[in-house]
Structure 1
Amino acid sequence: MATACQPPEGAAVTSPPSYQQADLRRDTSALQALGITGVQARVTTASGRDLVAATGVAVAGTNRPVPHDGYFRIASTGKALMATVILQLADEGQLSLDDMVDRWMPGVIDGNGNDGRKITVRQLLQNTSGLHDDLPGFDTPQQYYQHRYDTYTPEQIVARAMKHHPDFQPGTGWSYSNTGYVVLGMIVEKATSRPWQEEVESRILKPLGMNHTYLPGTTSTLRRPHADGYQVFTSGERTNVTEQIVPDLGGYVSTTADVNRFFRGLLGGKLLSEARMAEMRDTVPVAKQLEAIWPGGSYGLGLVNRPLTCGGSYWSHEGGEAGYITLNGATDDGSRTVTVSMTTSFNDFDKTLRQHKAASDLVDHALCDTSSNRQGK
């Protein structure tokens, strides 16, 4: 007979999860304390149960709470979506990762030492192409108000990069290149004869039930509910930058639940074959300037690998755009995922570094799920 302190014979003995709601609130509050207007975070556990927390305010100067299921711009997290589509097309034989860019887009990468005959699709995916980044952005509030409704075609964005020499010869270094992923979108359209956004929707969003992920196009506002996004410029002035038109690949809007759903599906084997998943996870070291943001990080094909303090590593792809900063992470099999969205970005590297460190700590605590994390050690 079992006693009150002993489970019945043969029963599974389980311990309570170490990372709980109070821990998530603690970690989101630590982010808010850095001067971030609003924070929302979601941890999806192996059982499918969610821990959700939100701190701060949705609109500066009000008491309006940050919605737990609010929309936000995921920015470069969208690169993982693009990479998944490319790898699916490779699996189907519609393209090869070793194709040169010029096979699909002849003459587009040309001039100032740039040569599409020497850059492969794989190098675009892994940020080893050497293509320089020259994306439009805002350094002052005045620039934001003057240019927030500007639009750019993929060709225009690539043309901006062609005004610069490559950062290095293809395959000889690593540098983060948004331009490279714009070129990948152009290749998807050539290979499928469909807009790349339609490929993302039919191949990823619909199969995974990501019903709250969308591209706003030329709509400058977000669906409700959402917290507003803010940028603190070098002058120290905090500006509401929510309303703007973001170039398409960086413009995806989503929720913490949908982002977790994506990484859970991707790493859980629902989107790619084992062979393609292995290629996606084949990483190279990132450049030194990103080591400060991603300590110990390495980059695969649209996926970032980062070490966990409890051993092992996790997979992610963060993003930052229009006042929204997103960090996320998933265990190797996608069984445990976490996404944190912050509604303030800084034009100050030290503040940005502290923000990323605190958000990375949240991801680490949630994925390690150890009792030491509960104690804040």
Structure 2
Amino acid sequence: MRKRLALTALALATAVTAGVAAPATAARPDPVQQELETLLRSADAPGALASVMDRNGNVRTYTSGAGDRDTHAKMPRDGQVRIGSVTKTFTAVVVLQLVGEGEIGLDDPVEEYLPGLVRGKGIDGHHITVRQLLQHTSGLPDYEDDVTNDILERRYLSPRDALDVALRHEAVFAPGAKGEWGYSSTNYLVAGLIVQKVAGRPLAEQIDKRIIQPIGLRHTYFPAPGETTVRERHPQGYRQDSPGATPRNVTEIDPSASWAGGAMVSTNSDLNRFFSELLKGDGNRLLDEDQRAQMRTTVDMKVDGYNAGLGIISMPLSCRSGDNRVAWGHSGGIPGYGTWAAATDDGRIASVTMTLEPKTGQAMGHLEAAMKAGLCP
């Protein structure tokens, strides 16, 4: 969960169709499977799983390692996982739908929707816009490190409780300051509260009604308050409390503190369906043309070639074939799991998950490399 994109920056510095992975050959080992194996070796992760779809709609699923470190149970194909900050893309889509309906203005101040709520040292909701929340240019401080123990110890935090934690900290920079960008889950905490205020309904319900049901994500959900288990078939998730420590099982947590920025559960194939629909032009069931254009209007993340849109990131792909392109997606981590999911405009989609919280740039870099291997022809 913590500062996924900062880890990405650090990392940069340093089958057959329908559910069966294509067999590797001596001449050309499968690049996704190779990257998964590298990921497990480098990060000491118990397991990893992935789903890749090519531009013709052919799907390959992959597994590596064990689904349970203690029992050595087989890794389930396309099992449910906690997707961490990939949740932010879902939240951003709901906000943009409400923008399209005239209920929210991207350049309106937060104060208009949550009067008197966003206040702190150098923090004033009068001067922060909805766009700045979704693009991480608000300067709001991140609260995630402060709530890790609450998550692990299964303590419920309401969104307002979590916001109180965040507002104990000073602003990182002035909202919209030139050249400034800072990843903070507090932005999405506030965005989720705006959705609830405007819609008059819970955020989880809005995500289900506006995204999950319309595009048929059968294995994706927003956990209910107090829900600590993963509902369907899933690999166990792990965490290292210190470098080199034996990973411990943290599958059952309370993700409430992550809420709009990181609480959801999904599968790799469902994430592929979601990003496929999100990038689609004609017939898009999530966003109209204007809102898609807003989502893909980016600012520099201060990482070479990486740019932040509204709930989505653009990143360069340098494929061995020389067929270079741009991918759009999001990463996510939470105790137990780390995920990268992205798609290209020509219809290639990949989602990869490791069953260990990625706490180093190297681990996140290998996770990203596996995802990119699935996007390259």
TM class by shorter chain equals 0.7 to 0.9
**Alpha-carbon distance in structure 2 between the residues aligned to 1:329 and 1:134:** 26
Give the Å deviation of 1:61. Answer: 2.9
Q: Judge conservation of contact 1:306–1:314 (CA < 8 Å) in 2.
A: yes
CA deviation map 1:67-107 (0-9, x unaligned)? 11211001110110111111111111111101100000011
Per-residue Cα deviation, 1:218-244 (whole angstroms, up to 9, x for no partner): 111112311111111225322211111
Q: Is the aligned partner of 1:278 residue 2:293? A: yes
Structure 2 matches for 1:234-273, cutoff 5 A? 234=242, 236-237=244-245, 238-247=247-256, 248-249=259-260, 250-269=262-281, 270=284, 271-273=286-288
Bigger shift: residues 161-170 or 228-237: 228-237
- The CA distance in 2 between the partners of 1:361 and 1:114, in whole Å, is 37
Determine which of 315, 319, 338 is the counterpart of 2:328. Answer: 315
- Report the residue type matching 2:296 in the other structure: R
1:56–1:84: structure 2 CA closer, same or farther, 3 Å change rule? same
Mapping of 1:1-377 within 5 angstroms? Answer: 21-22=23-24, 23=30, 24-34=32-42, 35-135=44-144, 143=149, 148-172=153-177, 173-217=180-224, 218-234=226-242, 236-237=244-245, 238-247=247-256, 248-249=259-260, 250-269=262-281, 270=284, 271-287=286-302, 291=303, 295-310=304-319, 311-333=324-346, 335-347=347-359, 352-369=360-377
Cα gap change, 1:286/1:21 in structure 2, threshold over 3 Å: closer, same or farther?
A: farther
Please state how far the C-alpha of 1:46 moved relative to its aligned partner.
2.2
Give the deviation of 1:257 after TM superposition: 0.8
Alpha-carbon distance in 1 for matches of 2:22, 2:238: 29
The aligned amino acid for 1:300 is G
List gaps (5 residues or longer) in structure 2: 1-15, 25-29
Distance in 2 of aligned mates of 1:235 and 1:353: 13
Contact 2:238–2:357 at 8 Å: present in 1 too? yes
- The share of aligned pairs that are identical, in percent, is 38
CA distance in 2, matches of 1:165, 1:222: 35
Asked whether the 8 Å contact 2:327–2:342 carries over to 1, the reply is yes
CA distance in 2, matches of 1:268, 1:359: 25
CA drift of 1:359 comes to 2.0
Q: Is the 8 A contact 2:50 2:78 kept in 1?
A: no
Letter in 1 for 2:263: G
The 10-residue stretch of structure 1 (298-307 or 265-274) with the greater mean CA deviation from structure 2: 265-274
String of CA shifts for 1:278-310, please: whole Å, max 9, x gaps. 1111111114xxx3xxx5211000001110103
Question: In structure 1, what is the Cα distance between the partners aligned to 2:35 and 2:153?
Answer: 33
Give the letter for the 1:61 counterpart.
D
Gaps of 5+ in 1: 1-15, 370-377
Q: Aligned in 2, Cα 1:21/1:117: closer, same or farther, shift over 3 Å? A: farther
**Does the CA-based 8 Å contact 2:350-2:372 persist in structure 1?**
no
Contact 2:337 2:358 in 1 (8 A): no
1:10 equivalent in structure 2: none
Aligned-pair CA distance for 1:137: 5.4
Question: Does the 8 Å CA contact 1:144/1:241 hold for their aligned counterparts?
Answer: no
Letter in 2 for 1:265: E
Deviation of residue 346 (structure 1)? 4.7
Give yes or no for contact 1:131–1:179 (8 Å, CA) kept in 2.
yes
Change (3 A) 1:261 1:39: same
Structure scoring higher RCO (CA < 8 A, sep ≥ 6) equals: 2
Superimposed CA distance per residue, residues 188-215 of structure 1 (whole angstroms, 9 cap, x where no aligned partner):
1111111121111111111110011012
How far apart, CA to CA, are the structure 2 residues paired with 1:21 and 1:117? Answer: 57
- 1:345 alignment partner, SS class: coil
Structure whose alpha-carbon radius of gyration is higher: 1
Residues 3-22 of structure 1 show CA distances to partners (whole Å, capped at 9, x for unaligned) of xxxxxxxxxxxxx99x9553
Encode CA deviations 1:226-274: one digit per residue, 9 max, x unaligned.
Answer: 1111111225322211111012321111001100000001101311111
Question: Could you say what secondary structure the match of 1:318 adopts?
Answer: strand
Aligned partner of 1:92: which letter?
E
C-alpha separation in 2, matches of 1:195 and 1:138: 22
Alignment partners' CA distance in 2, 1:61 and 1:320: 22
Tell me the residue number matched to 2:27.
Answer: none
TM-score (norm 1): 0.85
Residues 21-60 of structure 1, C-alpha deviation per residue, up to 9 Å, x if partnerless?
5313222222122211110011012222211110101111
